[in-house]
């Protein structure tokens, strides 16, 4: 039985026939993948669905935080299902924003139907960060989510006239099971880009899998036979950055084996800032307390996750649950 039948009886289930655009905040992870597949199961036409992937490290060659293969995995997923994909990013990505010293936040670049646009970066106040985002549900200190995802998407929506006079549904994959904070999120609400004034832009925000359990998420991937992102096969239970600030000791130990150069750069920044991600422990200390995932012994899997291109099929004949399923899913508290 489809999980969607539950939502059909929920008054917060939107009238999907009433929207012109469906914008999915697509990370390449299991939850945003489940959102896309659920839209298709519910009969949303593929030509109305747009995958919006926010490049955490930008497009300027930083590579500090994310999995190298993620961008191309998203492309392969979109191609396999016949969906449009748009990339967007904060110029300089995570690293530039983290190193900001008496500077304004960088502008945002986003792909449109026929070009790449740049907006922002001229207003606002001068500011300094010089430290990693902190492990918190508060977006003012866990600035990676707000500066590199939420604000990026909003700027891209606000600066495209094709959404004016239309009804747009923004879809994201937060689930109540993930944390106490996320359990309080509304399933359906007006999006921050909604405008009723001189500019008419109807935008709603829907979290269609908010009530789902992880088992439901993997079940829909299996129904569509979608091969998950390589990080899950390495043992990660959640696809965020490879070096997510919420990483457990085991994840830091695993990253040190999978991509020691990336790990060492983060450790060096902690020393430079004299402020650790975890506050009480350095990433080196945390990694020493953890045990690497068993799957990180597989050199072929590591090569796949660290490649710039995704070589595998997205739709597979034989679907297998990855090693990271139902494992550590360290994320926002």
Q: What is the pLDDT of residue 123?
A: 85
Residue spans of the chain under pLDDT 50:
1-9
Q: Could you tell me which of 194, 192, 198, 181 has the C-alpha nearest to residue 152?
A: 192
Domains of the chain: 4-228 (3.40.50.620)
Q: What is the pLDDT of residue 136?
A: 79
Q: What is the pLDDT of residue 251?
A: 97
Q: What is the pLDDT of residue 138?
A: 81
Q: Could you tell me which of 206, 223, 126, 215 has the C-alpha nearest to residue 172?
A: 206
Residue reference for tokens 């909604």: 194
Angle between helices 260-273 and 249-258 (to 10 degrees): 120
H-only helix segments in the chain = 4-8, 30-41, 70-81, 93-98, 143-145, 151-158, 180-183, 214-224, 230-234, 249-258, 260-273, 283-289, 299-306
10-46: b (≥16 Cβ within 10 Å) or e? eeebbebeebebbbbbbbbbbbbbbbbbbbbeeebee
DSSP state, 9? T
3-state SS class at 10: coil
Between strands 84-90 and 49-54, the pairing is: parallel
Evaluate if pTM is beyond 0.75.
yes
Alpha-carbon distance of 4 to 212, in angstroms, equals 10
Q: What is the pLDDT of residue 320?
A: 97
**DSSP3 helix / strand / coil % (the chain, rounded to 5):** 40, 15, 50
Residue 235 C-alpha from the chain's centroid:
18
Instruction: Summarize pLDDT for 144-192 with one digit per residue, the tens.
Output: 999 999 999 999 999 999 999 999 999 999 999 998 989 999 999 999 9
Q: Could you tell me which of 246, 323, 261, 333 has the C-alpha nearest to residue 292?
A: 323
Q: What is the pLDDT of residue 137?
A: 77
Alpha-carbon distance of 169 to 44, in angstroms, equals 12
Q: What is the pLDDT of residue 333?
A: 56
Instruction: Summarize pLDDT for 162-174 with one digit per residue, the tens.
Output: 999 999 999 999 9
Q: What is the pLDDT of residue 4?
A: 45
Structure tokens at 203: 């935008």
Q: What is the pLDDT of residue 3?
A: 46
Q: What is the pLDDT of residue 182?
A: 92
Residue reference for tokens 């506050």: 279
Write the DSSP string, 131-186. SPPPSSS-TTTSHHHIIIIIHHHHHHHHT-GGGTTSEEEEE----GGG-HHHHTS-
Tally of helices (H runs) and strands (E runs) in the chain? 13, 8
167: β partners:
202
Backbone φ, ψ for residue 24 (5° rounding): -100, 120
Q: What is the pLDDT of residue 197?
A: 85
């Amino acid at each position: 039985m489809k999980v969607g039948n539950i939502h059909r009886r929920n008054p917060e289930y939107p009238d999907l026939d009433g929207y012109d655009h469906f914008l999915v905040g697509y990370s390449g992870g299991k939850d945003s993948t489940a959102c896309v597949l659920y839209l298709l199961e519910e009969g949303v036409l593929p030509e109305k669905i747009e995958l919006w992937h926010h490049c955490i490290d930008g497009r300027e060659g930083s590579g500090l935080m994310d999995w190298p293969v993620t961008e191309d995995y998203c492309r392969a997923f979109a191609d396999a299902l016949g969906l449009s994909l748009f990339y967007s990013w904060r110029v300089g990505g995570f690293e530039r924003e983290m190193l900001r010293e008496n500077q304004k936040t960088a502008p945002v670049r986003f792909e449109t139907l026929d070009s790449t646009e740049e907006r922002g970066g001229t207003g606002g106040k001068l500011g300094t960060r010089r430290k990693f985002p902190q492990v918190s549900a508060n977006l003012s200190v866990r600035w990676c989510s707000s500066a590199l995802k939420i604000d990026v998407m909003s700027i891209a929506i606000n600066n495209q006239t094709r959404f004016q006079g239309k009804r747009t549904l923004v879809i994201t994959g937060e689930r109540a099971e993930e944390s106490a904070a996320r359990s309080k999120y509304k399933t359906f609400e007006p999006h921050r880009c909604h405008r009723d004034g001189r500019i008419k832009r109807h935008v709603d925000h829907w979290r269609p899998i908010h009530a789902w359990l992880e088992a439901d998420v993997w079940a829909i991937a299996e129904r569509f036979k979608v091969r998950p992102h390589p990080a899950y096969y390495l043992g990660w239970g959640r696809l965020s950055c490879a070096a997510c600030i919420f990483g457990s000791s085991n994840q830091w130990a695993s990253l040190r084996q999978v991509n020691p150069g990336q790990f060492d750069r983060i450790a060096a920044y902690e020393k430079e800032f004299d402020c650790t991600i975890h506050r009480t422990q350095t990433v080196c200390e945390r990694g020493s307390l953890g045990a690497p995932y068993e799957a990180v012994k597989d050199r072929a899997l590591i090569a796949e996750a660290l490649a710039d291109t995704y070589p595998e099929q997205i739709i597979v004949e034989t679907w297998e649950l990855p090693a990271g399923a139902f494992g550590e899913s360290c994320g926002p508290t």
